[in-house]
């Protein structure tokens, strides 16, 4: 499939299984954004909160948001990957079955996600050490403070490039885990293989989808803040935050949908998976249709 066909396929799949994707996003990723939005509203309520209460509520919201990102995000990805796979096979999948997929692959998915971020953090630490330890030594030897500026000038682009490289090469980890029942390191190796000859294409798709998601969520955040009226009773802010959270969480399922489409596209392109699926169909087994735009659900 071409670049634009994959992007179009993401939104086609989202539309065709929206009644499953939306509850998945809200169940796994809705609590953190809801509490963060609510805390930003209640903090500015005049005379409603003390400084300690404001800090405690914000800290609680931040902890839940971090927990959602580190632990629940891979479960969301597993459920979305399974839903996308069923959609491509023209099979119906209920919300309960999608949640079962997330639970069945919860261990490897969470472990792979955490290991990925540990790998990224470790790379950043090593990079910082390589740049700033010599800068400190040079400063002690009499170099000017510009040496730290030079280190920062090199660090941030290098850190961003390293982040994109790691996220691109391991972008297909969750679909591999769901489809091939692979453990964490086997899934990482498999994702590395599948993205080997499509690195720039995969990274470009990630960036474009990320920019679209960021733009959409930025607009939602602006609309949410525009609905904040300090004089309103505080009990009204909960329903407003909940309403805005629904819209904010919709794009959370887009990256795993894209990853699953790329996974099947790479397998069809280099492993003739579509031909094998057709043979399975001849043998009376459940066949996966070729991943063409015309065969996608609408």
pLDDT for the residue numbered 145: 78
Who wins on pLDDT, 14 or 270? 14
**């920019």: which residue's tokens?**
211
pLDDT at 56 over 90: no
Please, are residues 258 and 205 in contact by the beta-carbon 8 Å criterion?
yes
**How many Cα atoms within 13 Å fall on the side-chain side of residue 232?**
14
pLDDT for the residue numbered 239: 81
CA distance 35 to 65: 8
pLDDT for the residue numbered 272: 66
Question: What's the count of helices (H) and strands (E) in the chain, helices before strands?
Answer: 14, 0
Query: Residue 289's pLDDT band (boundaries 50, 70, 90)?
Result: very low
Who wins on pLDDT, 222 or 53? 222
pLDDT tens per residue across span 87-100 = 888 888 899 999 99
Who wins on pLDDT, 177 or 149? 177
Which whole-number Å values give the CA distances from 144 to 132, 147, 148, 152, in the listed order? 14, 6, 9, 14
Residue 227 Cα to chain centre, angstroms = 27
pLDDT at 285 over 50: no
Query: Residue 141's pLDDT band (boundaries 50, 70, 90)?
Result: confident
208-222, 228-242, 275-289: which is most confident = 208-222
Who wins on pLDDT, 274 or 272? 272
pLDDT tens per residue across span 189-217 = 999 999 988 899 999 999 999 999 999 98
């Amino acid at each position: 499939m071409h670049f634009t066909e994959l992007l179009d396929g993401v939104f086609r799949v989202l539309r065709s299984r929206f009644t499953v994707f939306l509850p998945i996003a809200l169940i796994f990723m809705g609590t953190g954004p809801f509490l963060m939005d609510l805390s930003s509203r209640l903090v500015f309520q005049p005379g409603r909160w003390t400084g300690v209460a404001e800090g405690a509520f914000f800290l609680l919201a931040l902890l839940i948001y971090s927990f959602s990102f580190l632990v629940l995000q891979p479960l969301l990805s597993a459920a979305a990957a399974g839903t996308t796979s069923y959609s491509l096979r023209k099979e119906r999948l209920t919300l309960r079955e999608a949640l079962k997929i997330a639970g069945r692959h919860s261990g490897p998915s969470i472990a792979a996600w955490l290991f990925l971020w540990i790998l990224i953090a470790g790379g950043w630490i090593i990079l910082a050490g390589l740049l700033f330890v010599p800068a400190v030594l040079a400063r002690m030897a009499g170099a000017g403070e510009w040496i730290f500026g030079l280190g920062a000038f090199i660090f941030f682009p290098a850190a961003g490039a390293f982040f994109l490289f790691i996220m691109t090469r391991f972008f297909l980890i969750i679909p591999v885990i769901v489809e091939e029942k692979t453990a964490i390191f086997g899934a990482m190796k498999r994702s590395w293989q599948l993205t080997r000859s499509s690195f720039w294409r995969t990274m470009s798709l990630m960036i474009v989808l990320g920019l679209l998601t960021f733009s959409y969520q930025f607009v939602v955040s602006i609309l949410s803040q525009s609905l904040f009226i300090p004089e309103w009773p505080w009990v009204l802010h909960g329903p407003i935050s909940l309403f805005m959270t629904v819209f904010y969480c919709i794009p959370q399922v887009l990256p795993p949908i894209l990853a699953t489409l790329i996974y099947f596209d790479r397998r069809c392109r280099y492993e003739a998976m579509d031909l094998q699926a057709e043979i399975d169909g001849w043998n009376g087994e459940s066949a996966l249709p070729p991943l063409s735009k015309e065969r996608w659900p609408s």
